[in-house]
Amino acid sequence: MITSINNERIKEISKLNNKKYRKEKGLFIVEGEHLVEEAYKHNLLVEVYSLNETSYENSYIVTESVMKKISNLDSIPNIIGICKIKKEEEIGNRILILDNIQDPGNLGTIIRSAVAFNVSTIVLSNDSVDLYNSKVIRATEGMIFNINIISRDLFSFVPSIKNQYKIYGTNVESGTLLKNVEKVEKCAIIMGNEGNGVKKELQKICDENIYIEMNKQCESLNVGVATSIILYELGR
């Protein structure tokens, strides 16, 4: 049983709350039974720290104060898991590109919907909120393990796929009505920042802009909602 927050191992693990350290180690933390179980199912679980005994390998019992030191939650979980960052896979036919999404809850929700509607790869711009931020992971409801997610400089990535994929931008003001968008085999959809939308320089590279028709009283939808509606419609 680990009782001291000054234990070397605990100090190392707490550092995983820092983005730079996560990248260096190729590890991240998940909190709560559901996420630990999902990590285990995907062979990405390395170690477990919990308040009680568990049936996982490499499982350590810790005190509540130690758990509090590691956890990012206001009320500490019973269990946390240390997970390997997933290896990159082939990008596949259905790509979702996220240009500077900043809200962790939005990113988590988008990942969950992307799994639901069969996106093959999510491409995060380098200026997006960090994927392994604890709030992002919680909002994915475990779906972070079920999809290929990569980080790229979009100004080089988007042109590099331009001739193989139909590239859809999104715009809150104009474009092809979502219901009229042609469904193609290989497509990439670019969704933009909460306040500013897709960067102008990226919009220029798009083959077409998608527009969701809505009541004029409403200027725009939440970006998680807009992304999900587009993925739902184009996935049918």
Would you tell me which residues interact with a copy of itself (CB under 8 A)? 105, 109, 112-113, 115-118, 139, 141, 143, 146, 179, 212, 214-215, 217-222, 224-225, 228-229, 232-233, 236
CB of 59 to a copy of itself, least distance (A): 26
Least distance CB 8 / a copy of itself (angstroms): 33
Partners of 208 in beta bridges: 168
Can you tell me the distance from the alpha carbon of 118 to that of 93, in angstroms, rounded to the nearest whole number? 10
Q: At closest approach, how far in Å is the CB of 148 from a copy of itself?
A: 13
Which CB, 22 or 112, lies closer to a copy of itself?
A: 112
Q: Which amino acid is at 210?
A: I
Altogether, the residues listed in the chain come to a count of 236
Is the CB of 61 or the CB of 229 nearer to a copy of itself?
Answer: 229
Neighbours of 89 (CB within 10 A): 12
Instruction: State the minimum distance, in angstroms, from the CB of residue 143 to a copy of itself.
Output: 6
| Residue (22 or 32) nearer to a copy of itself, CB | 32
Instruction: In angstroms, give the least distance from the CB of 134 to a copy of itself.
Output: 16
Least distance (Å) between residue 207 CB and a copy of itself: 23
Token pair 């993925």 is found at 231
Please tell me the distance from the alpha carbon of residue 223 to that of residue 231, in angstroms, as a whole number.
12
| C-alpha dihedral, 52 to 53 to 55 to 60, nearest 10° | 90
Identify which of residues 55 and 217 has a Cβ nearer to a copy of itself in the complex: 217
Residue with smaller CB distance to a copy of itself, 63 or 209: 209
d(CA 127, CA 130): 9
Task: Identify which of residues 72 and 220 has a Cβ nearer to a copy of itself in the complex.
Answer: 220
Quick check: 67 and 31 in contact, CB under 8 A? no
- Least distance (Å) from a copy of itself to the CB of residue 179? 6
Read out DSSP for 29-82? Answer: EEESHHHHHHHHHTT-EEEEEESS--SSSSEEEB-HHHHHHH--SSS--SEEEE
CA-based max dimension of the chain: 61
Residue 87: CB atoms within 10 A of its CB come to: 8
Nearer to a copy of itself, 179 or 200 (CB): 179
Q: Which residues does residue 47 pair with via DSSP β-bridges, in sequence order?
A: 82
CB-based contact 83:30 (threshold 8 Å)? yes
